[in-house]
């Protein structure tokens, strides 16, 4: 009865790149080299300090160039969450000064955004969370309608971390510019995977995280358009123009810049074949009865697949896929330690019963067509096996209850 | 340390007593799909001894393992003894569960109690 335990080869198919990516050889080598050779403190006056400073500033230039920003508009942070916190809190402080205490966002932002907004709400801010509709895409018209005279910030993610849907950032940016409202975007899932031009898109602030594009963990940055007054989260020394205290993570930052260059440079080369693999996965998984793709089929990250399967629970699915050598993730409550399934799936209208049975595959172009077929076969086997002793499935299959999907 | 003990993974990968008893003497179902866990227990009882037990579970790894272990713990046991089964005993037999998964063992205990209640009420109605 139990499903076959291990795949024939012991090789791991890593399909959870939205959670984190493996550091690239190039980034790792940079990290090691800089750690050894440029160990100085960039704030020190002697040569070994100043050469470390040069490495730091070169990384800043490289990162800035990729997003069409100026080096002085980049603040290095510990990652995406810190960047999100700093951007939103800064905009709130500016707003408060001008008597504007309303923020527009969406219901399916990352918790780094949602929890920061919750905190601001408790401090008297009003927050509008826009609907993301069943396709997982915000409507620019609704953004415009939500903006009022007291709005100080619009914060909308570039691409969703669970369902991969890409938001109409350019249009939202234009609307914010027209209404003279600050626009922040959490681009953690997008940068390195989609081309981003902060000027063309009218982005005022943007968050990024190094480990989502094969850089090291604990690295990230916040782009802040010049002229916007940023508030400090960490007080101390004068690093990062006094906006982020603490000795700079020089090797991490240098490695992140190397990784971003490579990722951004590879977008053109990989996107088409990655999309083909993604679409084959979607096609293959749709052969499973009573299943549904979450999020728009076209306007989604080239490597993101997210499905719900009725009658099963996601954690069991993940554990059995792991036994077969496939690493994936789920929005099931059981995988998060909370009672509710993913807020993203609930936001696109999936009911609890269905949202518990979700699977996210986030692939990169290193997986082969054989891997894709292996994943499809494995998911089919595991879903069928779990449905085989699911009382929920029994009730659905026997007609005692109505299928939702 | 892994999320689950070897024993949990063993019962999750190779669940014991999976299935349905069509002419069960007692059936219990607990939990709901909204919360992500449903357990259904089927008991066959002869002379107050649980001669057979089967389960079906919709839920996470620890929910499946808890159901499996609970069925093992009551199989062949007198009804009175099965009624004494606690969630703690289920969790201990699995070499422990993570704190936030303890509710799975509670569900297993409740599913069995529920099935035994069903058995008792069926017995009572037979006598009437």
Least confident of A260-264, B21-25, B124-128: B124-128
Residue written as token pair 């977008």: A267
| Mean pLDDT for chain A overall | 95
Reply yes or no on whether B60 is catalytic.
Answer: no
Judge if A251 and A286 occupy the same domain. Answer: no
Position A40 in a domain: yes
- pLDDT at position A7, please? 45
CATH code (residue A334): 3.90.1150.10
Give the nearest chain A residue to B67 (CA atoms).
A389
Position A8 in a domain: no
Work out the pLDDT band at B126, boundaries 50, 70, 90: confident
Judge if A151 and A284 occupy the same domain. Answer: no
What percent of chain B has a predicted confidence (pLDDT) above 90?
90
A10 has a pLDDT exceeding 60: no
Kindly compute the dihedral angle of the four CA atoms of residues B106, B109, B112, B117, in this order, to the nearest 10 degrees: -90
Q: Are strands B26-32 and B37-46 parallel, antiparallel or unpaired?
A: antiparallel
How far apart are the CA of A351 and the nearest CA of chain B, in angstroms?
8
Query: Are B13 and A323 a contacting pair at CB < 8 A?
Result: yes
Cα distance between residue A132 and residue B70, in whole Å: 43
Kindly compute the dihedral angle of the four CA atoms of residues A14, A17, A23, A26, in this order, to the nearest 10 degrees: 100
The length of chain A is: 405
Give the nearest chain B residue to A338 (CA atoms).
B100
Containing structural domain, residue A336: 267-398
Residue among A107, A103, A131 nearest A119 (CA): A103
Judge if A358 and A257 occupy the same domain. Answer: no
Judge if A251 and A166 occupy the same domain. Answer: yes
Last residue of a domain, one of A235, A265, A295: A265
A327 contacts on B by Cβ (under 8 Å)? none
State how many domains chain A has. Answer: 2
Structure confidence by residue, pLDDT tens digits, A136-160: 999 999 999 999 999 999 999 999 9
Judge if A234 and A146 occupy the same domain. Answer: yes
With an 8 Å Cβ cutoff, is A146 touching chain B? no
Position A51 in a domain: yes
A335 contacts on B by Cβ (under 8 Å)? 60
What percent of chain A has a predicted confidence (pLDDT) above 70?
96
Judge if A185 and A308 occupy the same domain. Answer: no
Judge if A303 and A175 occupy the same domain. Answer: no
Distances from the Cα of A339 to the Cαs of A107, A333, A342, A390, in angstroms? 18, 5, 10, 19
Judge if A213 and A123 occupy the same domain. Answer: yes
With an 8 Å Cβ cutoff, is A70 touching chain B? no
Query: Are B56 and A389 a contacting pair at CB < 8 A?
Result: yes
Q: Is the dihedral of CA B110, B116, B122, B124 positive or negative?
A: negative
Smallest Cβ–Cβ distance between A391 and the set B15, B36, B40 belongs to B40
Residues 6+ apart with CB under 8 A from A390: A311, A312, B38, B56, B57, B58
Residues 6+ apart with CB under 8 A from B106: B87
Last residue of a domain, one of A265, A282, A317: A265
Judge if A160 and A245 occupy the same domain. Answer: yes
- pLDDT at position A337, please? 61
How far apart are the CA of A313 and the nearest CA of chain B, in angstroms?
5
Give the nearest chain B residue to A332 (CA atoms).
B36
Q: What is the mean pLDDT of residues B54-67?
A: 97
Structure confidence by residue, pLDDT tens digits, A55-82: 999 999 999 999 999 999 999 999 999 9
A390 contacts on B by Cβ (under 8 Å)? 38, 56-58
Q: What is the mean pLDDT of residues A282-298?
A: 98
Among the listed residues B3, B35, B51, B84, the single catalytic one is B35
Tell me the domain boundaries of chain B.
6-122
Last residue of a domain, one of A228, A249, A265: A265
Q: Running DSSP on this structure, what letter comes out for residue B10?
A: H
Residue among B26, B57, B29, B30 nearest B42 (CA): B26
With an 8 Å Cβ cutoff, is A331 touching chain B? no
With an 8 Å Cβ cutoff, is A400 touching chain B? no
Locate the DSSP E strands across B1-128: 26-32, 37-46, 49-58
Judge if A259 and A276 occupy the same domain. Answer: no
Position A203 in a domain: yes
How far apart are the CA of B127 and the nearest CA of chain A, in angstroms?
30
Query: Any bridge partners for residue B55, and if so which?
Result: B18, B41
Among the listed residues B104, B108, B112, B115, the single catalytic one is B104
With an 8 Å Cβ cutoff, is A389 touching chain B? yes
With an 8 Å Cβ cutoff, is A395 touching chain B? no
Cα distance between residue A245 and residue A234, in whole Å: 6
Residue among A353, A259, A371, A275 nearest A314 (CA): A353
Judge if A235 and A335 occupy the same domain. Answer: no
How far apart are the CA of B113 and the nearest CA of chain A, in angstroms?
18
Phi-psi group of A57: left, alpha or beta (phi > 0 → left; psi -120 to 50 → alpha; rest → beta):
alpha
Judge if A159 and A46 occupy the same domain. Answer: yes
- With H, G, I as helix, E, B as strand and everything else as coil, classify residue A293: strand
A382 contacts on B by Cβ (under 8 Å)? none
- pLDDT at position A336, please? 62
Locate the DSSP E strands across A108-204: 126-130, 151-155, 182-186
- pLDDT at position A1, please? 44
Structure confidence by residue, pLDDT tens digits, B62-115: 999 999 999 999 999 999 999 999 999 999 999 999 998 999 999 999 999 999
With an 8 Å Cβ cutoff, is B14 touching chain A? yes
CB A321 within 8 Å of CB A4: no
Query: Are A332 and B100 a contacting pair at CB < 8 A?
Result: no
- pLDDT at position B1, please? 60
Structure confidence by residue, pLDDT tens digits, A195-244: 999 999 999 999 999 999 999 999 999 999 999 999 999 999 999 999 99
Residue among A206, A207, A219, A204 nearest A23 (CA): A219
Query: Are B56 and A339 a contacting pair at CB < 8 A?
Result: no
**Which of B4, B41, B55, B58 is most worth mutating to test chain A (most A CB atoms within 10 A of its CB)?**
B58
What percent of chain A has a predicted confidence (pLDDT) above 90?
94
Position A86 in a domain: yes
Q: Are strands A205-209 and A74-77 parallel, antiparallel or unpaired?
A: unpaired
Query: Are A334 and B60 a contacting pair at CB < 8 A?
Result: yes
A356 contacts on B by Cβ (under 8 Å)? 33, 36
Cα distance between residue A190 and residue A183, in whole Å: 16
With an 8 Å Cβ cutoff, is B100 touching chain A? yes
CB A269 within 8 Å of CB A259: no
Query: Are A356 and B33 a contacting pair at CB < 8 A?
Result: yes
The count of other CB atoms within 10 Å of the CB of residue B96 is 15
**Which of B11, B16, B60 is most worth mutating to test chain A (most A CB atoms within 10 A of its CB)?**
B60
Cα distance between residue A288 and residue A105, in whole Å: 35
At A241, list the tokens.
Answer: 């123009």
Q: What angle do CA B74, B101, A351 make, to 5 degrees?
A: 110
What percent of chain B has a predicted confidence (pLDDT) above 70?
99
Is B6-122 CATH 3.90.1010.10? yes
């Amino acid at each position: 009865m139990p499903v076959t335990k291990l795949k024939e080869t012991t090789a791991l198919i890593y399909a959870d790149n939205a959670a984190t990516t493996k550091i690239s050889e190039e980034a790792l080598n940079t990290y090691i080299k800089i750690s050894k050779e440029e160990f100085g403190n960039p704030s020190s006056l002697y040569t070994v300090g100043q050469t470390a400073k040069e490495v730091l500033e070169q990384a800043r230039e490289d990162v800035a160039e990729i997003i069409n920003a100026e080096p002085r508009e980049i603040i290095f942070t510990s990652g995406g969450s810190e960047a999100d916190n700093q951007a939103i809190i800064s905009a709130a402080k500016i707003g408060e000064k001008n008597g504007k205490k309303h923020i527009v966002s969406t219901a399916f932002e990352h918790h780094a955004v949602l929890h920061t907004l919750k905190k601001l709400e408790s401090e008297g801010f009003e927050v509008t969370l826009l609907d993301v509709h069943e396709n997982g895409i915000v409507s620019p018209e609704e953004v415009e309608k939500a903006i009022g005279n007291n709005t100080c910030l619009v914060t909308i993610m570039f691409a969703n971390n669970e369902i991969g849907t890409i938001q109409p950032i350019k249009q939202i940016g234009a609307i914010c510019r027209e209404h003279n409202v600050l626009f922040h975007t959490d681009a953690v899932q997008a940068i390195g995977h989609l081309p981003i031009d902060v000027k063309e898109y009218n982005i005022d602030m943007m968050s990024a995280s190094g480990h989502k594009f094969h850089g090291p963990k604990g690295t990230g940055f916040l782009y802040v358009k010049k002229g916007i007054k940023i508030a400090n989260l960490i007080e101390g020394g004068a690093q990062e123009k006094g906006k982020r205290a603490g000795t700079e993570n020089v090797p991490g930052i240098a490695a992140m810049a190397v990784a971003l260059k490579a990722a951004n440079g590879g977008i053109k080369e990989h996107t088409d074949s990655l999309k083909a693999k993604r679409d084959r996965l979607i096609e293959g998984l749709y052969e499973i009865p009573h299943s549904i793709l979450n999020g728009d089929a076209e306007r989604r990250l080239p490597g993101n697949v997210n499905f719900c399967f009725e009658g099963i629970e996601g954690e069991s699915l993940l554990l059995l896929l792991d036994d077969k050598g496939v690493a994936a993730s789920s929005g099931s409550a059981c995988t998060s330690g909370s009672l509710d399934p993913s807020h993203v799936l609930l936001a696109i209208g999936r009911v609890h019963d269905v949202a518990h049975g979700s699977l996210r595959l986030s692939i990169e172009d290193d997986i082969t067509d054989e891997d894709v077929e292996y994943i499809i076969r494995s998911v089919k086997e595991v879903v069928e096996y779990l449905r085989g002793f699911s009382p929920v499935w029994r009730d659905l299959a026997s007609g005692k209850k109505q299928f939702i999907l | 340390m892994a999320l689950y003990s070897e024993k949990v993974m063993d019962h999750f990968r190779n669940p014991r007593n999976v299935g349905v008893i069509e002419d069960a003497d007692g059936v219990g179902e607990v939990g709901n799909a909204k919360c992500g866990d449903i357990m259904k227990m089927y008991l066959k009882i002869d002379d107050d001894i649980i001669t057979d037990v089967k389960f079906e579970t919709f839920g996470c790894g620890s929910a499946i393992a808890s159901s499996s272990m609970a069925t093992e713990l009551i199989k062949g046991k007198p009804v009175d003894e099965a009624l004494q089964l606690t969630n703690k005993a289920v969790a201990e037999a699995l070499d422990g569960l993570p704190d936030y998964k303890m509710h799975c063992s509670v569900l297993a205990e409740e599913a069995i109690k529920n099935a035994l209640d069903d058995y008792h009420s069926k017995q009572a109605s037979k006598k009437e």
